[in-house]
Amino acid sequence: MNGTKYTHEELVARARERANEENLHSFQVERRRLYLVKSRKLRPGTYHMVRVHRSGQVTCDCPGWERWTVCAHQQTVVKRLEREAARREWYREQYLQADLPSEEPERDDTDHLRAA
Protein backbone atom coordinates (compact mmCIF):
# COMPACT_ATOMS: atom_id res chain seq x y z
CA MET A 1 0.00 0.00 0.00
CA ASN A 2 1.44 3.35 -0.96
CA GLY A 3 -1.29 5.49 0.53
CA THR A 4 -2.71 6.51 -2.84
CA LYS A 5 -6.40 7.34 -2.55
CA TYR A 6 -8.67 5.84 -5.15
CA THR A 7 -12.28 6.70 -5.72
CA HIS A 8 -14.82 3.93 -5.22
CA GLU A 9 -15.36 3.79 -9.00
CA GLU A 10 -11.63 3.32 -9.62
CA LEU A 11 -11.49 0.55 -7.05
CA VAL A 12 -14.46 -1.18 -8.68
CA ALA A 13 -12.84 -0.89 -12.13
CA ARG A 14 -9.56 -2.32 -10.83
CA ALA A 15 -11.33 -5.18 -9.06
CA ARG A 16 -13.26 -6.04 -12.25
CA GLU A 17 -10.03 -6.02 -14.26
CA ARG A 18 -8.45 -8.32 -11.72
CA ALA A 19 -11.45 -10.65 -11.83
CA ASN A 20 -10.93 -10.90 -15.61
CA GLU A 21 -7.13 -11.23 -15.52
CA GLU A 22 -7.21 -13.90 -12.82
CA ASN A 23 -10.12 -15.60 -14.60
CA LEU A 24 -12.08 -15.92 -11.37
CA HIS A 25 -15.19 -18.08 -11.26
CA SER A 26 -18.02 -18.09 -8.79
CA PHE A 27 -19.72 -21.19 -7.44
CA GLN A 28 -23.31 -20.86 -6.41
CA VAL A 29 -24.17 -22.08 -2.93
CA GLU A 30 -27.53 -20.33 -2.67
CA ARG A 31 -29.00 -18.66 -5.73
CA ARG A 32 -28.61 -14.87 -5.54
CA ARG A 33 -27.59 -15.19 -1.88
CA LEU A 34 -24.27 -16.94 -1.40
CA TYR A 35 -21.35 -17.75 -3.69
CA LEU A 36 -17.81 -19.06 -3.33
CA VAL A 37 -14.90 -17.63 -5.32
CA LYS A 38 -11.51 -19.35 -5.39
CA SER A 39 -8.66 -17.28 -3.97
CA ARG A 40 -5.81 -16.90 -6.45
CA LYS A 41 -3.52 -14.46 -4.70
CA LEU A 42 -4.16 -14.24 -0.97
CA ARG A 43 -4.61 -17.87 -0.01
CA PRO A 44 -4.34 -19.97 -3.16
CA GLY A 45 -6.57 -23.02 -3.09
CA THR A 46 -9.04 -21.66 -0.58
CA TYR A 47 -12.38 -20.03 -1.30
CA HIS A 48 -13.82 -16.71 -0.33
CA MET A 49 -17.45 -16.42 0.67
CA VAL A 50 -19.37 -13.72 -1.19
CA ARG A 51 -22.81 -12.80 0.14
CA VAL A 52 -25.59 -10.92 -1.61
CA HIS A 53 -27.56 -8.97 0.99
CA ARG A 54 -31.19 -7.90 0.82
CA SER A 55 -30.04 -4.29 0.51
CA GLY A 56 -28.27 -5.23 -2.71
CA GLN A 57 -24.85 -4.93 -1.11
CA VAL A 58 -22.40 -7.68 -2.05
CA THR A 59 -19.79 -8.49 0.58
CA CYS A 60 -16.73 -10.76 0.72
CA ASP A 61 -14.83 -12.22 3.65
CA CYS A 62 -11.34 -11.37 2.32
CA PRO A 63 -9.05 -8.66 3.79
CA GLY A 64 -9.27 -6.68 0.55
CA TRP A 65 -13.01 -6.26 0.95
CA GLU A 66 -12.63 -5.33 4.61
CA ARG A 67 -10.26 -2.56 3.65
CA TRP A 68 -11.80 -1.24 0.43
CA THR A 69 -15.36 -2.65 0.49
CA VAL A 70 -14.51 -3.77 -3.06
CA CYS A 71 -12.60 -6.85 -4.21
CA ALA A 72 -12.14 -9.07 -7.24
CA HIS A 73 -14.20 -11.89 -5.67
CA GLN A 74 -17.10 -9.56 -5.00
CA GLN A 75 -16.91 -8.17 -8.54
CA THR A 76 -16.83 -11.71 -9.94
CA VAL A 77 -20.23 -12.27 -8.32
CA VAL A 78 -21.54 -8.81 -9.29
CA LYS A 79 -20.68 -9.59 -12.93
CA ARG A 80 -22.43 -12.94 -12.66
CA LEU A 81 -25.58 -11.31 -11.26
CA GLU A 82 -25.53 -8.73 -14.07
CA ARG A 83 -25.15 -11.50 -16.65
CA GLU A 84 -28.03 -13.48 -15.14
CA ALA A 85 -30.25 -10.39 -14.95
CA ALA A 86 -29.53 -9.66 -18.62
CA ARG A 87 -30.47 -13.24 -19.51
CA ARG A 88 -33.75 -12.98 -17.58
CA GLU A 89 -34.46 -9.74 -19.43
CA TRP A 90 -33.76 -11.47 -22.74
CA TYR A 91 -36.18 -14.30 -21.89
CA ARG A 92 -38.83 -11.78 -20.89
CA GLU A 93 -38.41 -10.06 -24.27
CA GLN A 94 -38.85 -13.36 -26.08
CA TYR A 95 -42.03 -14.03 -24.14
CA LEU A 96 -43.43 -10.60 -24.87
CA GLN A 97 -42.63 -10.88 -28.55
CA ALA A 98 -44.20 -14.32 -28.74
CA ASP A 99 -47.33 -12.78 -27.24
CA LEU A 100 -47.57 -15.55 -24.71
CA PRO A 101 -49.42 -15.31 -21.44
CA SER A 102 -47.48 -13.24 -18.95
CA GLU A 103 -45.62 -16.19 -17.60
CA GLU A 104 -42.02 -15.84 -16.50
CA PRO A 105 -39.42 -18.56 -17.10
CA GLU A 106 -38.53 -18.33 -13.42
CA ARG A 107 -39.72 -16.48 -10.40
CA ASP A 108 -38.36 -12.95 -10.42
CA ASP A 109 -37.40 -11.84 -6.95
CA THR A 110 -34.75 -9.30 -7.89
CA ASP A 111 -36.32 -6.36 -6.06
CA HIS A 112 -33.78 -6.60 -3.28
CA LEU A 113 -30.93 -6.60 -5.80
CA ARG A 114 -31.32 -3.04 -7.03
CA ALA A 115 -27.95 -1.32 -7.11
CA ALA A 116 -27.23 0.55 -3.92
C-beta of 8 vs 87, nearer to Zn ion = 8
Q: Which residues bind Zn ion (CB under 5 A)?
A: 48, 60, 62, 65, 71, 73
**Closest distance of CB 38 from Zn ion, Å:** 11
Cα angle 104, 51, 87; round to 5: 30
**Closest distance of CB 60 from Zn ion, Å:** 3
Q: Give Cα separations from 15 to 12, 45, 73, 100 (angstroms).
A: 5, 19, 8, 41
**Closest distance of CB 67 from Zn ion, Å:** 10
Residue from 112, 28, 116 nearest 77 by CA: 28
C-beta of 6 vs 91, nearer to Zn ion = 6
